[in-house]
Amino acid sequence: MSETALEHVNFTVTDARATAERMTKLFGWKIRWQGPSIDKGFSVHVGDDSSYLALYTPPTTKARQGNARREVGNLNHVGVVVENLDAVEAKIRAMGYATHSHADYEPGRRFYFDDGDGIEFEVVSYA
C-alpha cells in the first residue's frame, strides 16, 4: 500500500518574499523555490523537505473583507507542529504579532496568531 501525504497548500499573500522570510525565522523552514508564476505573479515555496507553503503574490492584491470561515472554500487556519512551543511564541510576539486562544488538551498544547494578511496560524506542540 502506498503512503499518501499532504505536500503543499497554496494561498495568496501581499508579499510572498516577506511572508516566506518570516516563516524561515519562526519555524526554521527553508525556501525551496521562488520565481515568476501564473498570471504574472510571484511565488515562494517555503517549508521543509517533505511539505511546504506555496505563497503567491499576484501583480495587484485585494484584501479580504473580515474572516470568512463560514464561506465554503475559504481557509480557516494553517497548523504548524513545533518542538518548543514557548520559544516559537516568543519569536512570534517579538515580531509584533499577538497570540490568542491558548489551549492545552490532548493531543498537545497550542495557540494561534494572525499574520499581516489575516491568515490564522495554529502553532501546536505534541512534546
Domain ranges of the chain: 1-60, 76-127
CATH 3.10.180.10 fits 76-127, yes or no: yes
Measured CA to CA, the distance from residue 64 to residue 60 in angstroms comes to 13
Distance in angstroms between the alpha carbons of the first and the last residue of the chain:
29
Q: Output the pLDDT for position 1.
A: 54
Q: What is the pLDDT of residues 44-70, one digit of tens each?
A: 999 999 999 999 999 998 877 766 666
- Look at residues 112, 95, 116 and name the one whose alpha carbon lies nearest to residue 14: 116
**How high does pLDDT run on average in the chain?**
93
Q: What is the pTM of this model?
A: 0.89
Domain at 1-60, CATH homologous superfamily: 2,3-Dihydroxybiphenyl 1,2-Dioxygenase, domain 1 (3.10.180.10)
Measured CA to CA, the distance from residue 67 to residue 125 in angstroms comes to 25
pLDDT reading at 17 higher than 60: yes
Mean predicted confidence (pLDDT) in 89-100: 98
